[in-house]
Structure 1
């Protein structure tokens, strides 16, 4: 668990590490400093909150987004939110240095979120 990280919404660790590979649990758009606060409204705000939570966890492990090589994204409203989520997601990575990625449409996510993102990183 990362000090100051988001409160888990289920029984899990923020991340686990094996042989330099770091597996980050899917994060929700909750606020680390106020986990009971209502979720941000809309896919853009929720994507930013999730990416900020993931960045916080990476920082707590002395890593950053340049260490990420695989991402999975789950969307409850795939057709409606895919384009806006993509634009928002791109703001977090250097141009031309994107990790591999899969995006999946799902019927529901914890805490009523519109988006959840998990990552795999590697210590370089």
Structure 2
């Protein structure tokens, strides 16, 4: 068993709290929930309008973190998704989310409604990925 590796990716968005972008152990990679913040921008920069645009940015941020450690979206096994306006945004979120994955390789997923997210985001997604063995 290898000890945990704590990854912080220079190309990823600025941290909005004290965390590592990802933590890896024995090929398992836990990626911290990504917000719809833009890499290179400030944490308090305005967010994109609407669930579709914010979902695209969140998944691109997941991709950036995974790419930073030599993985990609196809390595994701499970996602947890958080929506602040669940009933209003669920359909638009699903349409945007599914465009990033092959229909025959959709990660397992849980999506829940929450009262608020950091930086006033409409969506946050974290994930578990696995390195090929």
Which bin holds the TM-score, normalised by the shorter protein? Answer: over 0.9
Q: CA deviation at 1:3?
A: 1.4
**Structure 1 gap segments, 5+ residues each:** none
Q: Deviations over 1:57-108 (max 9, x none)?
A: 0000100011000000000000000000000001100121101000010000
Matched with 2:126 is 118
Q: CA deviation at 1:34?
A: 1.4
> After the TM superposition, which of the residue ranges 16-25 and 28-37 deviates more from structure 2?
28-37
2:49 paired with 1:47: no
Equivalent-residue separation in structure 1 for 2:124 and 2:70 (angstroms): 22
State which of 9, 12, 18 in structure 2 corresponds to 1:5.
Answer: 12
- 1:23-102 equivalences under 5 Å are 23-35=30-42, 36-102=44-110
Equivalent-residue separation in structure 2 for 1:56 and 1:66 (angstroms): 13
Equivalent-residue separation in structure 2 for 1:100 and 1:4 (angstroms): 27
RMSD of aligned alpha carbons = 0.7
Matched with 1:20 is 27
Length-normalised TM-score, structure 1: 0.98
Ranges of 4+ aligned residues in structure 1 off by more than 3 Å = none
Length-normalised TM-score, structure 2: 0.91
